[in-house]
Structure 1
Amino acid sequence: MKKSLMSILALAAMAGGAHAQSTVQVMGLLDTYAGSIRMAGDGGRTSKVGSGGMTTSWIGFKGSEDLGGGLRANFALTSFMQVNSGVPGRFTGDTFFSRDANLGLSGGFGAVTVGRGLAPNFLPTVIANPFGDSFTFSPLVLHANVGLFNGTGWTATTPSDTGWSNEVIYSTPKFGGLSGNVHYQFSNLDSTTGNSGKKNIGVNAMYFNGPLALTGFYERDQLNNPVVTAFSPANTKKDWMLGGSYDFTVAKAFLTYGQAANNLTPKAKTTSVGVSAPVGAGKVLAAYANTSLDSGISRKTASLGYDYFLSKRTDVYAVLMNDKITAKSTGTSFGVGIRHSF
């Protein structure tokens, strides 16, 4: 009896020790706004309650296990969602865990992650503009990642989504303030289709040193995401950007320049500038992006907003945006929203 009791206590202690070395978190972010949206070329305006005014809403699980010797196993399963309606995904047809669905190892060598994760373009684009990852009001993000389906024919300059499926990512250790990622996406398509060798490849880098931040990325893409298919007609698209910011304390300045090109559409050249300035318990945000096509068409978008922090995890914001495309009607949008992370 004593031996049995001792065995049970030993197993319980071992289980407790193993549990202490593992972590699993339920986490996410909710963002919703009310306003009126009219993009360049829209026939009219849409008054709406929307989701993701400043950040796309998401929820999910992340975790890691300490394997000893500095080695860790990591996983992430996170899903985008639309707070205004409760619908999962960013849009109709989006995969359920389109934000993250990956597993990997990390240690002194850096990290290797396999599954669905970020594309090379995402982090540099977010870092180098004052509106961060706003797919509603950030001029740079709108030009790079959001096509217009209103007769203007305007397509996003980023070739293939902000996340890639069937991906292997190698993340370097930090060297001072410098780090980077190498991305490779497999097609997972049958060889009989002739597309099994298609792939997306890319790299990015980030450098942080006090008030200075520098970043950039390069992509060479042949595949669509999040549902993986080869570009049709067969094509290879290239996209790159360099950007940075400098915090002068009274204000933080942002600047980017990039190009996107392929065999079928005019080359796009995008310049963006921005500034954020602390005012009271929040920040004034201002940004402008200009994308010029070799065809002579250009798009100019400007946003002005104020983001007020109620706490470290909750903020409220108001944004006014103007959007213009050559020979198309001008659009003006505004929104007032709230964001909460957990």
Structure 2
Amino acid sequence: MDEPILAINHRSPTPQWGSPCPGHRGDDGLLFDAGHAGKHMTPGWRFADHEVFRRREVARFGVADPVFEKRCTHPRCADNEGFQLSRKYKSFLRRTRKSVVLSLAGRTDTCVRSSHICQGSSGLLLVREEFLKPTFLETYSMQKKLLALAAMSACGIASAQSSVTLYGVIDTSYESVKTNAGRISGFGGSGYRGSRIGFRGVEDLGGGLKAGFVMEGGFNADNGSGAGSTTANNQNGGLGAGALIFGRRSTVSLSGSFGELRFGRDYNPNQYNWGYFDPIAYGNTVGTAAADWASSAMTQPWTRVSNSIGYFLPGNLGGINGQVMYAFGERASNETFAGTTPAYAVGRSTKKNGTFIGGRIGYTEGPIDTQVTYDRTTYAAGTFNVSPLGIAAIPTGSSTELTWGASYKFGSIKPMVLIARRQNDDAGGLGNTLTMNGWNIGAIWTVGGGEVQMSYGRAKLSSALLATEPEAHKWSIGYLHNLSKRTAVYGYLARVGNSGGAALTAASASPGALGAVGGAANINGTSTGFQIGVSHTF
């Protein structure tokens, strides 16, 4: 009889670890064989003295990369307790046609990243089909009650075909930003992660089909108010602040072997690249890349898209992953621009304003991850005002972006690169364009119980409308230290330089941020920001 391949988080009353591991970011009930798994797993883990892997299984697999990689730390991944399973190992299971059950107790949402199997660590169990047979359960050395409970979890929650989970993040930080015009300091509403509270649920409809939902709203941890969200119907303006709304995400979905169909307010496909290939971007801290600031100031929607229909490829395509999205602007067919300036916009039909189309295609296998994204939001000429890099506002039309990002993990170091180009049509007049070209390079270095995050990048604007080419460059460095699997402390430092009329600052990008002191003195000036804070997930 074969032994189980993995058993994780069995919630033993007595921890299995000999001593706490500084680099371990998982649960104290993780079981691995110290003699075999230690040769093939991510360095830094400690393993219980228990036989789970067999030599022949490891030999047949021939692992060159870890079977189980580190805990998923992406802010959109459930409650950041998930683990990512090596794609190479999943491929091995498919090739050998092993019957595998991957299920959970109390965690049902999957990570937005298609290469992860990230469904939380509570009761997660990955086993051979034989592991579930009663005869095997009786002979296995684990306590029978614990094993029976885990087996029930692994059976796809046979006794409970639907579940709802409450989750969230509370994050606040002290930030201080200095510009040529002055300094502002104090507490912000978020920092490394955006403070939020959410609900997610799933229902097994049978035949491999599942229905799910996510409702997630942001709030400012420093004063308890609701955090405003951008783009109601993908137009200028926001959804407002003060009351708790589900502006971070509000979706209902159907998923199965075909992939996933998702409806509602969801992330723009470009956020995969801006989040995964800028080591500091999703922290929303003072370290967010210059190109990130420039691109986001040239379009709505940018982070999230309202009124959307999205499709995600299934996760069994040998490393290929992607998505497409379409969103409605929800404008009346007889609607026209009601303003009096600019002259070339007066009377133009705005019935298609806010209509969005976007997509992402990429390849993720082992240490390699590379993605291309595209998005376009339609606006009638002259009806959408933008002010990237702190320049004076310019009326524009439709906005289009193309990005490419890539990363490669070398042991504890993960370098990455991001290149982006955004272009707005009819800038200041018919036929003119306003173009942003930006890039960012960086790395994440896992050391001890935390991460060192570093980045440097530039963003430049060009247009026949502009006498110069405004440009900003920015370097950032930060350190995140995990006190536990739920709590972390962090600190970031950033420096911005401007030329050609740019006036970008080192202000934090987090909800409820203090911003920066503005003024003409900031044009072609410098700005410095630092931030320290604490983040807790639940």
TM-score range, shorter chain: 0.7 to 0.9
Deviation at 1:130, TM superposition (A): 1.2
> In structure 1, what residue type is equivalent to 2:537?
S
Query: 1:87 — aligned with what?
Result: 225
**TM-score, structure 1 normalization:** 0.84
> In structure 2, what residue type is equivalent to 1:253?
P
Distance in 2, Cα, partners of 1:300 & 1:217 = 23
Pick one of 273, 276, 279 that aligns with 1:124.
Answer: 273
Distance in 2, Cα, partners of 1:205 & 1:313 = 32
> In structure 2, what residue type is equivalent to 1:287?
S
Pair 72,91 (structure 1): closer, same or farther in 2 beyond 3 Å: closer
Q: Which whole-Å deviations, capped at 9, do the CAs of 1:84-135 have from their partners, x for residues lacking one? A: 1111124694352111111121111111111111112112210112114122
Are the equivalent residues in 2 in contact too, given 1:54–1:132 (CA < 8 A)? no
Question: Which stretch of the first structure deviates more once superposed, 72-81 or 91-100?
Answer: 91-100
Distance in 1, Cα, partners of 2:193 & 2:331 = 33
> In structure 1, what residue type is equivalent to 2:371?
T
Query: 1:63 — aligned with what?
Result: 201
> Greater CA radius of gyration, 1 or 2?
2
Matched, 1:212 2:361: no
> Structure 1 unaligned runs (5+)?
1-16, 148-154, 225-229
Q: Which whole-Å deviations, capped at 9, do the CAs of 1:177-226 have from their partners, x for residues lacking one? A: 221110101011111214333411000134221111112210111269xx
Give the number of the structure whose residues are more often strand, by fraction. 1
Equivalences for 1:101-250 in 2 at 5 Å? Answer: 101-140=250-289, 143-145=291-293, 156-174=297-315, 175-193=317-335, 194-198=349-353, 199-222=355-378, 231=384, 235-250=397-412
SS of residue in 1 equivalent to 2:182: coil
Pair 158,248 (structure 1): closer, same or farther in 2 beyond 3 Å: farther
Pick one of 511, 519, 526 that aligns with 1:330.
Answer: 526
Are the equivalent residues in 2 in contact too, given 1:116–1:165 (CA < 8 A)? yes
Deviation at 1:234, TM superposition (A): 6.7
Are the equivalent residues in 2 in contact too, given 1:135–1:146 (CA < 8 A)? no
Distance in 2, Cα, partners of 1:77 & 1:316 = 27
Are the equivalent residues in 1 in contact too, given 2:287–2:477 (CA < 8 A)? no
Query: 2:537 — aligned with what?
Result: 341
Q: Which whole-Å deviations, capped at 9, do the CAs of 1:311-341 have from their partners, x for residues lacking one? A: 1221111111111221522111111111111
Question: Which stretch of the first structure deviates more once superposed, 65-74 or 241-250?
Answer: 241-250
Q: Which whole-Å deviations, capped at 9, do the CAs of 1:145-184 have from their partners, x for residues lacking one? A: 478xxxxxxx724552210111101111121222111010
Runs of 4+ in 1 over 3 A off after TM superposition: 90-95, 194-198, 230-234
Query: 2:415 — aligned with what?
Result: 253
> Structure 2 unaligned runs (5+)?
1-156, 231-237, 336-348, 386-394, 428-432, 463-467, 500-522
Distance in 1, Cα, partners of 2:253 & 2:350 = 27
Deviation at 1:138, TM superposition (A): 3.5
Are the equivalent residues in 2 in contact too, given 1:200–1:223 (CA < 8 A)? no
Pair 188,280 (structure 1): closer, same or farther in 2 beyond 3 Å: same
> In structure 2, what residue type is equivalent to 1:131?
I
Matched, 1:74 2:222: no
Distance in 1, Cα, partners of 2:360 & 2:370 = 11
Distance in 1, Cα, partners of 2:472 & 2:525 = 12
Query: 1:8 — aligned with what?
Result: none
Matched, 1:52 2:207: no
Deviation at 1:51, TM superposition (A): 2.3
SS of residue in 2 equivalent to 1:86: coil
Pair 223,23 (structure 1): closer, same or farther in 2 beyond 3 Å: farther
Query: 2:437 — aligned with what?
Result: 269
CA RMSD of aligned residues (A): 2.3
Pick one of 300, 304, 319 that aligns with 2:492.
Answer: 319
Deviation at 1:283, TM superposition (A): 1.2
Query: 2:170 — aligned with what?
Result: 30
Query: 2:339 — aligned with what?
Result: none
SS of residue in 2 equivalent to 1:267: strand
Pair 145,166 (structure 1): closer, same or farther in 2 beyond 3 Å: farther
Pair 18,275 (structure 1): closer, same or farther in 2 beyond 3 Å: closer
Pick one of 246, 254, 270 that aligns with 1:97.
Answer: 246
Are the equivalent residues in 2 in contact too, given 1:143–1:156 (CA < 8 A)? no
Aligned residues: 311
